[in-house]
Every structure is written in structure tokens, then in C-alpha cells.
Structure 1
Amino acid sequence: MEQKIHYFNKHSHTPVKIRYWCQDETRIGLKTITGKLITACGVKPVGLYQWLFKYLWLYGLVEPKTGDSFFYEFSHLDTPCFEKFLELFSQKYPDEVHIIQLDNGRGHLGLDLSIPDNIILLFQLPTHLELNSRWKAAVHSAPPYCPEVNPIERFWKEVKKFLKNQVFDSLDFLRRILRNILARFTQEDIASITGYDFILEALSVPGL
């Protein structure tokens, strides 16, 4: 039986919409992403390749239920950048409460991390601070990343398909290409890629 969960605004005491998002970051740079090439039978494939370690970090959020998304570029993968990313996201959707699924990456666990009031972080693995001493050893041995349960990881793979076997002259050129790639994906596309059954079924139970 479905039991709908309500979240109330502390000032107006009116119900607030709750949304569920999946978050992750990916590094994209000038070092060529290699992939399979199609050639004639017996012809060895030859492709351009460069080995340059200049890159950017793309921070992203996708909503599996609707296919809505939010992306922003940063220079580093760390707590200050993650905090700014959450702030920008909160400003775009200020009138809703957002539950964000994410991994236990180091940048997500900074003790000085400031989280906007309308954001709730849901870690894929329990954080050390939430556990008693009996379970801490198990978490220390567990991997901080579980890409198979975070659907945005699948979306990153689709994005990078468009970048395979390409050589970019500069990060600015790469940025322009990347913006065009992201613009190709409609909400329907993203929902199809990220709408994992186990997430949608779980959201249906509380009526989210």
C-alpha cells in the first residue's frame, strides 16, 4: 500500500515537493579516450592520439524519474568545489527538497562541508560518522565507490562515447564540444539511461 511522505516548509507549514537525484563527478581532458574503430577486413585500425594531462571536472546531477539534470564544470575534485556545486543547485531549485544519492568520495565527506537547507545527502555506503565502532572496520574495507548502483555513471559512459578517438587542441575547444554533447540529451533520453528499476520502484513506495 502506497504511503505518501510529506515534507513541510518550516515557515509556511505548506507541503514541499521532494525530489530524488543521483550525483557524481567525472574527469574529462585532452588525453585521448580510445575506443574501437571499424576498418576493412585485415586492415589494422589507425587513429590519432595525444597524451596531455590537462583536464576539467564535470559535476552532475540527474533525476532518474524525470530525466531532469544539472551540470557544472570545476577545476578540482574537492570539498570546496562540491560545496559550491550544491549551492548553485540549491539556488536553481530553491522551493523543493532534494535527496541526493552519492558515493563516499573524499570530497563529499569534508568535515567543513556546508549543505544547503533543502538538500539531504544519501550516501551509497554508510559514512564513518554514522556507525558505531563495531561496524567501522567493515566500512574501512568497503570501496568508496559503487558505480553499479549509481545511474549517473551510466550517463557518463554515454557522454564519453562521443569523445572517443578524438583529439582536442585546447580545453576551451573541449568545453564547446562537451556543451554540444550534453545538449543532445533530452529529458526522455536521460530518464531512459538512468531510470533504474530498483530506484523507481523504491520511489513509488513513499509516493515520491
Structure 2
Amino acid sequence: MEKKLATEVEQIQTTYPDAEVQLWCEDEHRLGLKPILRRVYVPEGETPIADVHWRFKWLWLYAFVHPKTGETKAWILPYVNTELFNQVLADFAREFGLGTNKHILLAVDRAGWHTSKNLQIPEGLHLTFLPSHSPELQPAERLWTLVDEPLANQSFNSLNDLENILFHRCQSLLQQQDLIRGLTGFHWWLQIGV
């Protein structure tokens, strides 16, 4: 995988010699009213209690991460599909000023909305696909335990309540670039150098 990414970065640098090139990754994470249960420490002899009310309503977190710097960007949306992914890619490209002078190679998995014929890839953005069934190669996959922390062992009355906590968690993670870099900066990813 590292050779493939290095080759693709080199091709972009050769094609656009005056442009800044970065290597990012993106993944989606489903969150909902179904509780996330985790172990907790309690004094010996006590039984931990977590209020659970299982419901199956969901929202999705689209997260982008630049493992070299720890920079992140996230969108909270109600679905995953090609139309929403197109909007997210357009927003991402606009947010980071992609175009003639700045290019990003974005590593994504092979989800249906990533490989759709109707996908509209903005100028300056280049997609590369990770091997099928290999979440261990996706640095963005490592964000989910951090994202889930404030949601664990809680029950939410509505998706709005969940979204509010999720929004604040994402804002907090934006400020923790060293933590994100340490978590997502796979040694072979960082050797690519962009």
C-alpha cells in the first residue's frame, strides 16, 4: 500500500510541479441512538449501571484527517450516499482551497458511494482506493474510539441530543492535533512525506 500511495503522490507532483501536494484520508462512522457500551472501573462489590434504550436511528460522521499534521475536518450528516459525498468533497475542496496550486490525494475505502459513476471529484482532489476489507490500513478508522468516548454508556433521547455532543467532540478533536497525529500517523504513511 505504501508503494502505491508514494507512486500516486509522485505522479501528482510530476503533473503539477508548482503545486503543494498533501496526502489525506477519509472515512465514515455511523452513530445513533443504539448505545455504545464500554467497560468502566467501579469499586469492588459494586455493579455499574448504564441506562440503555435501544433505538435504531442513525447519523453519520464523515471525517477527513491529514496524518502528517493531525489536522482534521468533519461533517455530520443524516445519510451516506453519492449525492452527500459529492457535497462533502466539494465543501472539503473549497475549505482547503484546492485547485491549480494545491492538490490532495485522498485515500478512501471502496464503499459504493466512493466508487459511484455519479461521483463528482473537484479540481485538485484525487481519490485513491485502499484494498477491500482492510480497515487496518485506513488511518481515519483510528479516530472512532476518540469520537465515541463522550457517547459511551449514555442513552440519548433524540438524534439532536447526540449530534450536539458529537459536534462538541469534533470541535475538541480539532484542537488535539498532536494526539491525532500520534494515533493516525502510521510509520509507512509518514515516510511518503506529504
TM-score range, shorter chain: 0.7 to 0.9
Residue 114 in structure 1 maps to residue 96 in structure 2: no
TM-score, normalisation: structure 1: 0.80
Residue 163 in structure 1 maps to residue 158 in structure 2: no
Residue 181 in structure 1 maps to residue 169 in structure 2: yes
Residue 4 (structure 2) aligns with: none
Runs of at least 5 residues in structure 2 that lack an aligned partner in the other structure: 1-8
Tell me, in whole angstroms, the C-alpha distance in 1 between the residues paired with 2:123 and 2:76. 23
Residue 88 in structure 1 maps to residue 91 in structure 2: yes
Identity of matched residues, %: 31
Query: When the two structures are aligned, how many residues end up with a matched partner?
Result: 179
Q: Which has the larger radius of gyration?
A: 1
Output the amino acid matched with 1:197. Answer: H
Residue 199 in structure 1 maps to residue 189 in structure 2: yes
**RMSD of aligned alpha carbons:** 1.7
Please give the residue correspondences for 1:3-82 in structure 2 after superposition, counting only pairs within 5 Å: 5=10, 6=13, 15-82=18-85
The runs of at least 4 consecutive aligned structure 1 residues that moved more than 6 Å come to none
Cα deviation for residue 149 of structure 1 reads 0.7
Q: Do 1:55 and 1:171's aligned partners in 2 also have CA atoms closer than 8 Å?
A: yes
Residue 147 (structure 1) aligns with: 135
Match of 1:36, SS state, is coil
Cα deviation for residue 163 of structure 1 reads 1.2
Per-residue CA deviation, residues 113-132 of structure 1 (Å, 9 max, x unaligned), is 1111211101012xxxxxxx
TM-score, normalisation: structure 2: 0.85
Q: Do 2:76 and 2:163's aligned partners in 1 also have CA atoms closer than 8 Å?
A: no
Runs of at least 5 residues in structure 1 that lack an aligned partner in the other structure: 126-143
Per-residue CA deviation, residues 169-203 of structure 1 (Å, 9 max, x unaligned), is 211111111111112222222112111111001x1
